[in-house]
Amino acid sequence: MSIDLGRNVPLQIQRQLRKECFFGCAMCGSPLVKYAHIVTYSKIQAFLPENMIPLCPLHYGKYDTGELSESYLRDAKKNPHNKLQPQDAFFIDTQELAINVGKTKFINTYRILVIDDFDLITVTRDNGKYFLFDVNFFDKVNNMIATVSENNWVSEKSMDWNIDYSPRKYLIIQNPQRNITFEITLENTELFVTAMMYYNSSSIRVTRNEISLDENEIGIEIKNSVLKNYDAAIVAYT
């Protein structure tokens, strides 16, 4: 695996910061975030929640190049986007979580795609309604090049990723150069997952109609079914 995960912000602090900013980027509300130190870590040498703020990759890039002042960041921390515009957060306030993968609907099943006993996609909820994603991205030769861990985005700096969030509609993560796509769409109160990914040098493609591993359709026996409380949705071996 070639990705350098760098300094890991303690999970307890990540969760505190997500809650403070109403489960999204303080600037735009996107659920996919990185955790920034308002006063740089090199000066503080500590993870202090009062000095940290969740930012989506786009706004983190602006923070990284010095485009966002300390006062601007502190204002955003005090009044984050999803506090001012709560309808922009990515959530559903329902008792059960329905996720569609291919032509199968899974209810209250959170491990969405498991290949060779490794979880590539997991979807859960924080605070009973806000979506939490764990997604692992590999290239064709099985190098990990990006990961989402409880909505925390980490990627190789040399990689070009396109990330698009439309409030209450969809989250798309793409690397066109590597032919990698992950998309999760909210329609009414259900999620739909589509993807083009790799693991163990095999390709995995998920569309609205089927799931394929190296161009061979898998999960045929559960196609057009509604399944509830499964340990894992799509399980396959390369």
Q: What is the mean pLDDT of residues 186-198?
A: 97
Is residue 90 within 8 Å of 21, Cβ to Cβ?
no
Cut 0.85: pTM above it: yes
DSSP 8-state code for residue 205: E
Q: What is the pLDDT of residue 41?
A: 85
Q: What is the pLDDT of residue 6?
A: 43
DSSP secondary structure string, 107-148?
ES--EEEEETTEEEEEEEEETTTEEEEEEEEE-TTS-EEEEE
Helices (H) and strands (E) in the chain, counts: 5, 18
Indicate if the pLDDT at residue 73 is higher than 50: yes
117: pLDDT confidence band, cut at 50, 70 and 90? very high
Closest CA to 90 of 163, 8, 196: 163
**In a 3-state reduction of DSSP, which class is residue 26?**
coil
Average model confidence (pLDDT) across the chain:
94
Of the chain, the percentage scoring pLDDT greater than 90 comes to 91
Q: What is the pLDDT of residue 1?
A: 38
Half-sphere exposure of 114 (CA within 13 A, CB side): 13
Q: What is the mean pLDDT of residues 152-164?
A: 88
Q: What is the pLDDT of residue 161?
A: 95
Q: What is the pLDDT of residue 158?
A: 65
Indicate if the pLDDT at residue 127 is higher than 90: no
Which residues does 185 contact at the CB level (< 8 Å), separation at least 6?
A: 169, 170, 191, 192, 194
